[in-house]
Amino acid sequence: MTLQVNGKTITLTDVTNISGLLAFYQLEKKILVVERNGEIIDRSNYADTPIMDGDRIEIVHFVGGG
Amino acid sequence: MMNTLKIGTYEFTSRLLLGTGKFADLDTQSRAVEVSEAEILTFAVRRLNLDNPDEPNFLEKLDLKTYTLLPNTAGAYTAEEAVRIARLAKASGLCDMIKVEVIGDQRTLLPDPIGTLEASRILVEEGFTVLTYTNDDPILARRLQEVGVHAVMPGASPIGSGQGINNENNLRFIIEEAKVPIIVDAGIGSPADAAKAMELGADGVLLNTAVALADDPVLMAEAMKLAIEAGRKGFLAGRIPKKRYASASSPVEGMIE
């Protein structure tokens, strides 16, 4: 399965949902927000939200800024 | 109490809103934030660096019960982009405040008034507490209040320029007819600039670069805090009118001969 994650193309096996994707990147404890194909995914739905070939995923967080 | 700052349903003691960008290191930043006694801190929303997810992050060091987060929509050049960033910020579950910032020009970073108004209108409708960074245009400030923003934040001068207040007159016009807090945002260079904004009657000041890039950011954070307090008290106390000629402070009667 090939995805776009934060603008980078990545090929993954064994990852089926958003929870799995966050585990793959070791981000489970981070304060972050996930968008899948332009739609924000509620944290309570990470395990129930499948990822599919061709998905565009954005994983964002807060950084210093004015 | 006359000395609290009310923004939507929030209430604050401090009138200094501090940005969190451009600090040289997290330790300096933590101390500057603490000394500033700011209660509202701005942040930007960006992609997480997946190649180095554990790089230090200031937010993770913060006691989130102590501070109110004010994420911005910096980087947005259209209303749509700003709305998308705002929704992402709110989905963090950490805040419902948003600093609307829709830039119209890369060189000056001046706001696009049309996009700014449109993004503000949509985000008010969606239930955000909206603080809008805007040009120092009294008519636009009025239009923003008509769509229901919770605070108007006119720039003193271009972002990060340190030029101070470029158009005192416009700021005065905005403040005079304001129905929501007016927070002077961007362009503040020195404590004198911050005090001046408060003396004009601004309800608060949002600054970042003036502290973050000072030779001693912690000392400057304290100076800004004091300047804003002094300016506020000066405004409340009511300054004397300017006169053309001198007026003796000592009695003219009873002079020895």
Residue B186: the pLDDT is: 95
CA nearest to B75 within chain A: A65
Strand partners, B100: B132
3-state secondary structure of B128: coil
- CB B53 to CB A8 under 8 A? no
What value does the mean pLDDT take over residues B181-191?
97
Contacts of B61-67 spanning 24+ positions with Cβ under 8 A: B61/B26, B61/B30, B64/B94, B66/B39, B67/B38, B67/B39, B67/B40, B67/B41
Cβ distance of A27 and B48 shorter than 8 Å: yes
Cβ of A33 within 8 Å of Cβ of B57? The answer is no
Q: What percent of chain B has pLDDT over 70?
A: 99
Task: State residue B88's pLDDT score.
Answer: 97
Distance (Å, rounded) from C-alpha A64 to C-alpha B58? Answer: 7
Of A25, A35, A62, nearest to B43 by CB-CB distance is A62
B44: confidence class by pLDDT, cuts 50, 70, 90:
very high
pLDDT beyond 60 at A63: yes
- A8: distance to nearest CA of chain B, Å? 10
Reported as a single tens digit per residue, the pLDDT across B73-127 is 999 999 999 999 999 999 999 999 999 999 999 999 999 999 999 999 999 999 9
| DSSP 8-state secondary structure symbol assigned to residue A42 | P
What is the Cα–Cα distance from B23 to B126, expressed in whole angstroms? 33
Task: Assess whether pLDDT exceeds 80 at residue A51.
Answer: yes
The pLDDT of residue B1: 42
Judged against a pLDDT cut of 60, whether residue B2 lies above it is answered with no
Residue pairs spanning A and B at CB distance below 8 A: 96
User: Cβ contact (<8 Å) for B48 and A8?
Assistant: no
Closest chain B CA to residue A41: B91
Domain ranges (residues) in chain A: 2-61
Q: Which residues of chain A neighbour B71 with C-beta distances below 8 Å?
A: 62
Distance from C-alpha of B234 to C-alpha of B251, rounded to nearest angstrom: 26
CA-atom Rg of chain A in angstroms: 12
**Predicted model pTM:** 0.92
Cα B101 from Cα B160, distance rounded (Å)? 14
Spatial CB neighbours of B134, under 8 Å, sequence gap ≥ 6 = B111, B113, B116, B140, B141, B144, B152, B153, B154, B155
Q: How many other β-carbons are positioned within 10 Å of the β-carbon of residue B237?
A: 9
| Residue B210 CB-half CA count within 13 A | 32
Q: Is B99 a catalytic residue?
A: yes
Are residues B35 and B216 in contact, defined by beta-carbon separation less than 8 angstroms?
Answer: no
Backbone angles phi, psi at B214, to 5 degrees: -65, 155
A32, A19 contact by CB (below 8 A): no
pLDDT per residue as tens digits for the range B45-68? 999 999 988 888 888 888 888 999
Q: Which of A29, A61, A62, A63 should be substituted to probe chain B, the one whose Cβ sees the most B Cβ atoms within 10 Å?
A: A62
What is the Cβ-side half-sphere exposure of residue B168, based on CA atoms within 13 angstroms?
A: 10
**ipTM, two decimals:** 0.93
Among chain A residues, the shortest Cα distance to B85 is held by: A60
Tell me if the domain spanning A2-61 has CATH number 3.10.20.30.
yes
Q: Helix (H, G, I), strand (E, B), or coil: what is residue A16?
A: coil
Per cent of chain B over pLDDT 90 is: 90
For the residues B11-34, what does the mean pLDDT come to?
94
Instruction: Tell me what the pLDDT averaged over chain B comes to.
Output: 95
Pair type for strands B68-71 and B204-207: unpaired
Q: Are B99 and B71 in contact (CB under 8 A)?
A: yes
Helical H segments across chain B, by residue range: 26-36, 58-61, 79-91, 113-125, 138-146, 168-176, 191-199, 209-212, 217-237
**Inter-chain CB proximity B94 and A63 less than 8 Å:** no
Q: How many Å apart are CA B227 and CA B191, to the nearest integer?
A: 5
